[in-house]
Every structure is written in structure tokens, then in C-alpha cells.
Amino acid sequence: MSSPATSSDREKVVSKLPGWLRQNLKIRAAQRGIEIQAAVEQGIRDWCGLASTTTSVDTSGADSFSTFLPPGQWDDFRQVVADRRISLIQGLAQSVQLWLDTHPAPDVERPEITRRIIVCNQKGGVGKTAITAGLGEALAEDPNTLHSVQIAKALTKALRASEAGQDDQVTGDPLDIENLPGLGLRVLLVDFDPQCHLTNQLGASPLPMNGDSLTNHMAGDPKGDLRDLVVSIDDAAFGGRLHLLPACNDAFLLDVRLSAVRAREAALERALAPLEADYDVILVDCPPSLGLSMDAASYYGRRREGEKPGQSGALIVVQAEDSSADAYELLTTQIEDLRGDLQIDVDYLGIVVNLYDSRRGYIATSSLQGWVDIKDPRVVGLIGDLKEQKEAVRMKQPLLSYAPRSQQAIGMRALAREIA
């Protein structure tokens, strides 16, 4: 039942565990940030220290399970199991269950101040909507389920490969992927674009022109409670934590209506303030505009009193081509002007290079290098131009539930952790 391991201070042991218990152990160890072998070691030690056996565990369907334990622990454990007259499999199952019972899943870490992330670039077609949706989905995923995540060093590796002109198409080497629990945050996606792309992509209906809308609330002419307009993205992966405030075509008139509003830069904040207590993160999908609506979005994302730097602010989505660079300059100039005029802090959360394909040659790779060279804000995400996102849009489904193991989904989860 045991054989020497390559490690000098541990030995490999082989037994059996039911699949459900093995999966619970795997998830809980990841949630607690420890190795499975350390959890099993502690569970066995604590179980052997009990005066008697614990409640019997259903071990039907148990199959092979191996781990590494300190030398001698497995032999001592076998003796205790024999003394208590139960099977070795039952003793191991009770030990693992004891560790699970005494090490509950940690609570989701929630921000003291609701985070407000404005996803922006005045250039259309760069994929702001896809990034808004994917990031929101990644932030809301089930914390009691493991999801494939591209680890930080993989992003660095991909950036370096692209800089060198290599075709490392964010391929996701298995060694660069970790299975981690979802972040489990309560997320509101705000479709602030009159084109309603976010609303349509997630399978919701745009709000009717003759009804209530975010535009009405910002213009000081509400027709009801804004909460009544919010819809849930009903998917098991998000457990009721992901919501959407749909757009309305009346947002095409927003700048005109805001021109008659006092303190118009605070209009979005006034409208969304009643909803903030219900969410950990609010993501605003901004229109491709440099008008008053963008001022209102930038002001909403400003750093509030008592808020740590980098919690809220602007996430800028670009592509690896020249026109994105021109648009970036216009956007940052507007944000800097607003900072100076109103004496506020608007943090840059980073740059996401979206729809990247190194096979497009020098233009793509050299443009990516240009984004990397900026340094502040730094590149926090590199998302490939792959088919799964387009398919999810066509199917009107969230990317992370339609193709949860796709490279784009893995990259979205990495982005969520980069800015978390």
C-alpha cells in the first residue's frame, strides 16, 4: 500500500477514496491555499488523535487515491485503523472528512467600498463589451468550483514570446494553467452604450424607448426604481451573483439631456448609488465616445475617500494596431483633463490587449510591444482572437459558461485576478 517517493522527507501512499470526497478535498485545499498532501497529513494526524472513530462515511465507488505523507505516518495510521476495527479506506475517508469539517471554506473577501470599473476606449470595435462581460463573469464564478486560470507567469511568457516574434498564441501551456476556486463576487454589468451590444450578447432585451432607463435616471427624470430594470444572468456558474442593467437606445440622446443637468459629471453616480449596496463590483461598458457620458463614467470610477488606489478606475481595452493607439491618446487626455479640472484621482487599472493574433505579423507584434512599453498603465490582459467568443455572442450566452475551458475564458479569469 505504500512505496518510497522521490522526495527524501515523504513517502508515496496509495489507497482509495470516493470521487465526491476526493473532489471536495481538492476544492477545499485550493480554497485554503494549501497542498492536498498537507491537508491529508493533518486530517490523519487529527483523526488518530481522537478517542474514537467519527461518523461513518459512504465509501461506495471508491477508486485509487495517492498522496505523499511523512515517513512512518501511514504505518502508524494503519495500526490505529486496525485497532478501531474499520477498513483502511473508511479510516482515510473519515480523516479527510474530519479535515473538511474543521477547515470550512473561507468567506468571499468583499470590498468595503463597492468597486467601480469603467471599461473604455473611444474607438469602437476593440471588444470593450466582450471584456466587460468576460471580466464580470470571471469575478462572479462559483467559489466552490475549480476553474481553469492562466497564471500570471503565463501572461508574462506570452508577452515575451510575442515581443520576440514567436507564435505563442496565448496557447495556454498546461504548465501555465491552474485550477482555482471562483471569486464569488456579486457583480453588476451596466450597459452604458446606446448600441446595446452587452445587453444583446447576454441574451437580454434592450429597454423600450417609452419606458424607464438609466438615461432617465441620469437626466433627473426617473419613471420608477432603477432596481426594477436589473435582470439576472441565470446560469448555474454564477449562482445568481451576476446581474445586468440593460441599455436603451435613448442613450443616444444622453449627452444632450446631460447638458441641462447640474453637476452633470456626477449624474451616473447619482443614478447608480442606490444599487451599490447590493454589489461588490460594478462594471460599466462605456460607449465609444468622448462626450459628457464619458466624463460621467470617469467621474464614477474616481477614487473615493477611504478607498485604496487601484480598486476602482479605468480599464482600457485596445487592439494591437495603430488606430487603437490614437484613440488611447484621446481617451487619456480627456481623463487627465477631468482629473485636473475637478481635482480628483482616476486610477488606471491597466490595459487589455484584445483580439490579439501574432500571425498578423509585424503590425501586431510591434504594436503589442508598444503597449507593453507604456509601463504605467501596464498590460494586465492579453486575449486572443479566437472563435469561442464569437460563438458565445451568436448563441447569446456568457463566454465562461459556453466555453469555460477555452483560452479566452482562461484569460478572462487571469484578468480578473490581475485587477482583483
Residues 82 and 149 in one domain: no
Which domain-ending residue is among 44, 68, 102? 102
Residues 193 and 45 in one domain: no
Residues 387 and 323 in one domain: yes
Residues 165 and 265 in one domain: yes
First to last CA, the chain: 44
Q: In total, how many domains does the chain have? A: 2
Residues 52 and 182 in one domain: no
Residue 108 falls inside a structural domain: no
Domain of 46, CATH number, reads 1.10.1220
Residues 243 and 299 in one domain: yes
Residues 72 and 136 in one domain: no
Cα gap 111→279, rounded to integer Å: 10
Residues 93 and 126 in one domain: no
Structural domain range at position 400: 115-419
Domain of 260, CATH number, reads 3.40.50.300
Per-residue b/e over 108-147, b at no fewer than 16 CB within 10 Å? eeeeeebbbbbbbbbbeebbbbbbbbbbbbbbbbbbebbb
Which domain-ending residue is among 102, 134, 150? 102
Residues 164 and 66 in one domain: no
pTM metric for this prediction: 0.91
Residue 254 falls inside a structural domain: yes
Residue 370 falls inside a structural domain: yes
Which domain-ending residue is among 38, 70, 102? 102
Tens-level pLDDT at each residue, the chain (420 residues): 444 444 568 999 999 999 999 999 999 999 999 999 999 999 999 999 999 889 999 999 999 999 999 999 999 999 999 999 999 999 999 999 999 999 999 999 999 999 999 999 988 889 999 999 999 999 999 999 999 998 766 566 666 665 555 555 555 565 588 999 999 999 999 999 999 999 999 999 999 999 999 999 999 999 999 999 999 999 999 999 999 999 999 989 899 999 889 999 999 999 999 999 999 999 999 998 888 999 999 999 999 999 999 999 999 999 988 788 888 999 999 999 999 999 999 999 999 999 998 888 888 888 888 999 999 999 999 999 999 999 999 999 999 999 999 999 999 999 999 998
Residue 143 falls inside a structural domain: yes
Residue 297 falls inside a structural domain: yes
Cα gap 103→113, rounded to integer Å: 28
